[in-house]
């Protein structure tokens, strides 16, 4: 078990994040899609069909509108390289687009039915990827690609949902994918965890103790702490200052979830990421940013800067956040 023990074994000279370094970005869009590959290469996406890319750590940015869709909100993006990325929309049309030329052109790879709403995308090793979408006809949309996003298939084995259950496209982070599993969360009237150990063919479902029961409540973001330990954050997005049952932990990928925190993040949180360099967990929401140095047991606020999403880069060297009005920032420590 990780809580309260493994995280205390390593002492660091830097105890607390210093804050956020904000970047000048050529957009005022709401940026919920964020995919940092390294400390230099970062993709982002959001409202007004917006895509953004930096290859020099935020000093300069390329930007544009995906296929002219300036009324569409691309709430998640997955960067595979400095040239290749896949973006998904939330709302209608429910589409998946791919670029292989650093955003100059985008090609539509999938379009869902008129009632579809896509929430998040995640890949393992750039080849195998999954998208989670809200239930259609009582069944979740679990889309799979095995060829870097060229072809997408809605799995017949997608699990069933309960009435009033959906997923949140607040930060594109309600889905995790690894070599052996797919895991996603729901929210609303029920907030549960759906886990598959065989690429989405069979599913186990776990209840959680996070705040739930209203359409605006539940899990909004998931992150791995290590190969076994997971964290989820959320709350109630229409009550951004409510610090009530907004973080839960699990010490098994396919296990139960518990409310373990003694001191909670300071409000609704839409994004969470683990930064192993300093053993920090970073959680963000519209009213500010919190961190934990003991695996999510206790939390302290370190910044009043609000964001939608937060991710560590895939090289594990930096942490980035994105938010409203074209806000993109890098964690300072």
Walk me through the domains of the chain, giving residue ranges and CATH numbers: 6-332 (2.130.10.10)
Confidence of residue 278 (pLDDT cuts 50, 70, 90): very high
pLDDT for 14:
87
pLDDT digits (tens, 9 = 90+) for 109-134: 999 999 999 999 999 998 899 999 99
pLDDT for 13:
74
Confidence of residue 262 (pLDDT cuts 50, 70, 90): confident
pLDDT digits (tens, 9 = 90+) for 37-71: 999 999 999 999 999 999 999 999 999 999 999 99
pLDDT for 313:
98
pLDDT digits (tens, 9 = 90+) for 197-252: 999 999 999 999 999 999 999 999 999 999 899 999 999 999 999 999 999 999 99
Is the bond preceding 93 in cis, omega lying within 30 degrees of 0? yes
Find out whether 76 and 86 touch, Cβ atoms under 8 Å.
no
Confidence of residue 261 (pLDDT cuts 50, 70, 90): confident
pLDDT for 10:
47
Residue written as token pair 């650093």 = 102
The CA angle 247-280-249, to the nearest 5 degrees, is 30
Nearest to 237 by CA among 290, 192, 283, 287: 287
CA atoms of 205 and 192, how far apart (whole Å): 7
């Amino acid at each position: 078990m990780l809580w309260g023990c493994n995280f205390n074994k390593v002492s660091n000279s830097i105890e607390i994040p210093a804050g956020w370094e904000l970047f000048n970005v050529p957009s005022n869009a709401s940026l919920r899609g964020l995919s940092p590959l390294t400390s230099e290469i970062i993709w982002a996406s959001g409202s007004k069909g917006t895509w953004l890319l930096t290859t020099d750590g935020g000093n300069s940015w390329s930007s544009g509108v995906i296929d002219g869709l300036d009324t569409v909100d691309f709430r998640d993006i997955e960067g595979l390289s400095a040239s290749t990325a896949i973006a998904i929309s939330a709302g209608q049309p429910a589409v998946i687009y791919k670029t292989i030329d650093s955003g100059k052109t985008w090609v539509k790879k999938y379009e869902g039915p008129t009632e579809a709403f896509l929430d998040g995308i995640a890949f393992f090793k750039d080849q195998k990827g999954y998208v989670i979408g809200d239930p259609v006809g009582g069944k979740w949309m679990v889309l799979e690609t095995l060829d870097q996003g060229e072809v997408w298939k809605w799995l017949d084995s997608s699990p069933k949902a309960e009435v009033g259950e959906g997923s949140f496209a607040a930060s594109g982070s309600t889905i995790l994918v690894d070599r052996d599993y797919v895991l996603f969360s729901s929210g609303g009237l029920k907030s549960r965890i759906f886990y598959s150990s065989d690429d989405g063919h069979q599913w186990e479902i776990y209840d959680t103790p996070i705040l739930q029961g209203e359409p605006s409540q539940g899990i909004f973001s998931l992150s791995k702490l290590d190969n076994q330990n997971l964290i989820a954050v959320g709350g109630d997005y229409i009550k951004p200052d409510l610090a009530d049952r907004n973080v839960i932990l699990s010490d098994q990928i396919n296990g139960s979830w518990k409310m373990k925190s003694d001191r909670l993040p300071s409000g609704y949180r839409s994004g969470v990421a683990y930064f192993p360099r300093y053993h920090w967990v970073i959680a963000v929401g519209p009213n500010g940013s919190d961190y934990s140095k003991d695996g999510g047991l206790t939390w302290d606020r370190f910044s009043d800067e609000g964001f939608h999403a937060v991710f560590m880069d895939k090289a594990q060297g930096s942490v980035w956040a994105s938010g409203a009005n074209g806000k993109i920032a890098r964690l300072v420590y």
